[in-house]
Amino acid sequence: MDLQTTIYIVVGLSFALYIGIAIWARAGSTSEFYVAGGGVPPVMNGMATAADWMSAASFISMAGLIANMGYGGGLFLMGWTGGYVLLACLLAPYLRKFGKFTVPQFIGDRFYSKTASTVAVVCLLTASITYIIGQMTGVGVAFSRFLGVSSETGIYVGMGIVFMYAVFGGMKGITYTQVAQYIVLIFAYTIPAIFISLQLTGNPIPQLGLGSDMSGSNLSLLTTLDQVVTDLGFGKYTTTTAGSTLNMFVYTMSLMIGTAGLPHVIMRFFTVPKVADARTSAGWALVFIAILYTTAPAVAAMAKLNLHSTVNAAVMKGGDLYAPEASLKAEERPDWMKRWEKTGLLKFEDKNGDGRIQYYNDATKNADAKAKAEQAGWKGNELTVNADIIVLANPEIALLPNWVIALVAAGGLAAALSTAAGLLMAISAAVSHDLIKGVFMPDITEKGELMAGKIAMAVAIVISGWLGLNPPGFAAGTVALAFGIAASSLFPAIMMGIFSKKMNKEGAVSGMLAGLFVTLFYVFAHKGIFFIKGTEFLGLIGGANSFFGITPEAFGAIGALINFGVAFVVDKLTQEPPEHIQHLVESVRVPRGAKAVDGAHAH
């Protein structure tokens, strides 16, 4: 059976499974629509949470980022998994005990203010919509390569699939679908990694293979990779960092507290029966996430080595990497390269007209490597590889069987669709439950609210699809900005709501608005949208477009500090919260008893 037919069968079966689950798990009440009836077992919720959180960024992009960045890419591993520890210890049990449906509802009731709830909805929508652009882009990338359609058509198909199980099933349908998607994506990620680890090191466990010696060599895989990339003019794989130490620290913190503040992930902890189950399911989620996250560094290193080996035959055989015969003849490039060239994510340009692919580093700081490259006729790097193809193309680069390649296609789509569904659920609940019922129509019937939720979900799907087709420049290509927005706006408000009984509504609202505004201003200013007398404003501090060298994706942690600072200053200048609110905060922090998840607004 040829590759394309195999892909159609495997992806088609996975889609049929998701739609079948949605039909079986249709939501008949607002409780089922928002929190799956509050009866999801902890292990199953942990699996669904892992799928909800491991987005196209985790499955498709993360290993690619590590492959490109080397050691510096570790900040994504530390930030995202560290955020889960924060979530499990500091937020999940307390929010579950509060017994509400959504994050804005918790903020509105805790800070006894519809204004606070509305501001939280604005923050949630800003973070979720920014995040969903990346998911829709991931859907387009996977479809365009594996199903032979344009990325635009791929986004339309993805919108249709999500519509089927998210609108009809709500959180109940999404939860059970995400369990299936987790199983698909984890097999899709680990099976190719096992194959490739065996090929390169003889060790079937990728995590151990990363530290093992190469087959038939006394050099370790990482030592071999370091030699190859430095000889080709790239930075040393095991020591390269992501900018300054300050930026790396702040970036990691931003991802960490952004993870803990992501509303679509927090909502998952409202679906379990008891407070203890919230903490248990967070622990299970960490286990299920760790399977992929500990495999990702091995996938990144092995894929990079395989890619260089494909282009430069001398990598594995030893010899001069710059010898004319060492580089691959353009007409002999493998089929997988030609297939990926059609997507535009891999580009070959024969700059010196010698009919060979020379994959060296344009901006090398290694004078010896540059001199060797120029002697070999090098006129600039001739191969451009988008980080997003590393995982998806990995089994093709390693010449693995067709069914493995098809499984990776299904896994990439499962990762993007599962997170898109979770984000859409958070958006729908914020609009129907927090705005329509909580602010504008408090007397709406349950049936009316359920219909409003489904309409809000459908509208959100259309908007997210349009943004995927026309991504705004400030958000294209990254979901780190969404984490920064959640970190700077929602996380501090949730933390202060749980752990500071004296924090009042004026402080919380002021802090959320300050954190959100400062972070968005920094992002837009970094892109040159704001100017002061012809000079880009942020260029005045610490170099072009930077505040002490901090990148916009990392700025969420600074926004969070501003949020906390403004909130505590305003709180000191205004009245204390009412006595009953202070007692409520104290009761939420006592680890005994739990409310049923009824979603009732405080009045």
pLDDT band at residue 538 under the 50/70/90 scheme: very low
Q: How many domains does the chain have?
A: 2
Q: What is the C-alpha separation between 360 and 338, in angstroms, rounded?
A: 20
Q: Is 391 exposed, middle or buried (0-12, 13-18, 19+ CB in 10 A)?
A: buried
Top-ranked range on mean pLDDT: pick from 73-77, 433-437, 444-448, 514-518: 514-518
DSSP character at residue 326: G
- Residue 215: phi, psi to the nearest 5? -60, 130
Say if residues 544 and 564 touch (Cβ distance below 8 Å): no
Alpha helical stretches, state H, 147-166: 151-162
Residue 553 lies in a domain: no
pLDDT band at residue 541 under the 50/70/90 scheme: very low
Domain boundary among the residues 457, 483, 509 is at 483
Same domain? For 301 and 317 the reply is no
Question: What is the per-residue pLDDT for 507?
Answer: 95
- Could you tell me which of 479, 477, 458, 476 has the C-alpha nearest to residue 162? 458
- Residue 383: phi, psi to the nearest 5? -125, 125
pLDDT band at residue 564 under the 50/70/90 scheme: very high
What is the arithmetic mean of pLDDT over 249-278? 83
Q: Is 221 exposed, middle or buried (0-12, 13-18, 19+ CB in 10 A)?
A: buried
Question: What is the per-residue pLDDT for 535?
Answer: 42
| Residue 357 clears pLDDT 80, i.e. is over it | yes
| Residue 53 clears pLDDT 60, i.e. is over it | yes
pLDDT band at residue 149 under the 50/70/90 scheme: confident
Domain boundary among the residues 435, 459, 483 is at 483
* Residue found by looking up tokens 């939420």 in the block: 588
What is the arithmetic mean of pLDDT over 112-139? 84
Q: How far is CA 369 from CA 88, 348, 354, 373, in A?
A: 48, 21, 20, 6
- Give the strand pairing for 346-348 and 356-357: unpaired
What is the arithmetic mean of pLDDT over 291-298? 91
Residues 405-417: tens digit of each pLDDT: 888 888 887 877 7
Both tokens of residue 4?
Answer: 């394309």
* Residue found by looking up tokens 């930075």 in the block: 235
Residue 527 lies in a domain: no
Residues 176-195: tens digit of each pLDDT: 888 888 888 898 889 999 99
What is the arithmetic mean of pLDDT over 286-298? 90
Which residues is 413 bridged to in the sheet? none
| Helix, coil or strand: residue 278 | helix
What is the arithmetic mean of pLDDT over 529-539? 42
- Could you tell me which of 519, 557, 17, 497 has the C-alpha nearest to residue 255? 557
Q: Which amino acid is at 45?
A: N
Residue of 520 and 470 predicted with greater confidence: 520
Residue of 480 and 122 predicted with greater confidence: 122
Residue 500 lies in a domain: no
| Residue 542 clears pLDDT 50, i.e. is over it | no
Same domain? For 289 and 361 the reply is no
What is the arithmetic mean of pLDDT over 221-226? 88
Say if residues 215 and 43 touch (Cβ distance below 8 Å): no
Residue 521 lies in a domain: no
Q: Tell me how far apart the terminal alpha carbons of the chain are, to the nearest angstrom.
A: 63
Lowest average pLDDT, out of 362-366, 484-488, 562-566, goes to: 362-366
Residue 517 lies in a domain: no
Question: What is the per-residue pLDDT for 601?
Answer: 58
Say if residues 545 and 526 touch (Cβ distance below 8 Å): yes
Same domain? For 191 and 274 the reply is yes
What is the arithmetic mean of pLDDT over 145-153? 74
Q: Is 582 exposed, middle or buried (0-12, 13-18, 19+ CB in 10 A)?
A: middle
Domain boundary among the residues 358, 386, 414 is at 386
Percent of the chain past pLDDT 90, that is, above it, reads 13
pLDDT band at residue 365 under the 50/70/90 scheme: low
Same domain? For 325 and 378 the reply is yes
Same domain? For 210 and 271 the reply is yes
Same domain? For 108 and 175 the reply is yes
- Give the strand pairing for 356-357 and 531-532: unpaired
| Residue 254 clears pLDDT 60, i.e. is over it | yes
| Helix, coil or strand: residue 312 | strand
Q: What is the C-alpha separation between 507 and 498, in angstroms, rounded?
A: 14
Residue 253 lies in a domain: yes
Residues 25-44: tens digit of each pLDDT: 776 677 777 666 667 888 99
| Residue 584 clears pLDDT 80, i.e. is over it | yes
The reported pTM is 0.80
Which residues is 550 bridged to in the sheet? 547
Percent of the chain past pLDDT 70, that is, above it, reads 87
Residue 568 lies in a domain: no
| Residue 141 clears pLDDT 80, i.e. is over it | no
Question: What is the per-residue pLDDT for 444?
Answer: 83
State which residues form the domain around 99.
3-305+397-483
Residue of 111 and 483 predicted with greater confidence: 111
Q: What is the C-alpha separation between 3 and 11, in angstroms, rounded?
A: 12
pLDDT band at residue 477 under the 50/70/90 scheme: very low
Residues 547-560: tens digit of each pLDDT: 667 888 788 899 99
What is the arithmetic mean of pLDDT over 162-171? 74
Q: What is the C-alpha separation between 177 and 165, in angstroms, rounded?
A: 8
Same domain? For 207 and 349 the reply is no
What is the arithmetic mean of pLDDT over 453-466? 85
Q: What is the C-alpha separation between 344 and 387, in angstroms, rounded?
A: 12
Lowest average pLDDT, out of 61-65, 85-89, 139-143, 480-484, goes to: 139-143
Same domain? For 214 and 280 the reply is yes
Same domain? For 11 and 118 the reply is yes
Q: Which amino acid is at 602?
A: A
* Residue found by looking up tokens 């010449």 in the block: 399
Q: What is the C-alpha separation between 14 and 234, in angstroms, rounded?
A: 40
Say if residues 33 and 598 touch (Cβ distance below 8 Å): no
CATH number at residue 156: 1.20.1730.10
DSSP string computed for 532-589? ETTEEGGGGSSSTT-BTTB-GGGTHHHHHHHHHHHHHHHHHHSPPPPHHHHHHHHHHH
| Residue 597 clears pLDDT 70, i.e. is over it | no
Same domain? For 70 and 146 the reply is yes
Residue 244 lies in a domain: yes
Same domain? For 256 and 377 the reply is no
Question: What is the per-residue pLDDT for 475?
Answer: 41
- How many CB atoms lie under 10 A from the CB of residue 531? 11
Same domain? For 45 and 182 the reply is yes
Residues 366-380: tens digit of each pLDDT: 667 677 777 777 777
Note the maximum CA span of the chain: 80
Dihedral over alpha carbons 348, 353, 359, 361 (to 10 degrees): -110
| Residue 536 clears pLDDT 60, i.e. is over it | no
- How many CB atoms lie under 10 A from the CB of residue 461? 24
Q: What is the C-alpha separation between 215 and 363, in angstroms, rounded?
A: 32
pLDDT band at residue 172 under the 50/70/90 scheme: confident
